[in-house]
Amino acid sequence: MEIDVKKEGQVVIIALTGRMDAVSAPQFDKTVDDFIDQGETQILIDFKSLEYISSAGLQSILALAKRLEPINGAVILSDLNGAVKEVFEISGFSSIFPIYDNLDAAKASV
């Protein structure tokens, strides 16, 4: 999995490419932990180029949300499609997180 990170205003945008599974999820965890340790609280995850997410990937996203909750942070998701969108719907995660159709709508929500 490739992780591309940029900061726009008060939001950290993390674009994921490839597969998020038990092998790559720890890399994601370290990336977001580093930003939270720097005081960032608004994390937007762009799934446009993510082809697959496993339960380990879902667990990482849930752990991120739980870590941000006590500091009034937020996890915002955008551009879910195909199998990734289906996994979010089946797991019920689509009702837990704000999900936007595209990056611009997600950024506007912050």
* Tens digits of residue pLDDT in 31-62: 999 999 999 999 999 999 999 999 999 999 99
pLDDT, tens digit (0-9, with 9 covering 90-100), for 80-92:
999 999 999 999 9
* Count of Cβ atoms closer than 10 Å to residue 5 Cβ: 13
On whether the CB atoms of residues 110 and 42 are closer than 8 A, the answer is yes
- Give the domain ranges of the chain: 2-108
Query: What topology is assigned to 2-108 in CATH?
Result: Transcription Regulator spoIIAA (3.30.750)
For residue 110, name the pLDDT band (cuts at 50, 70, 90).
confident
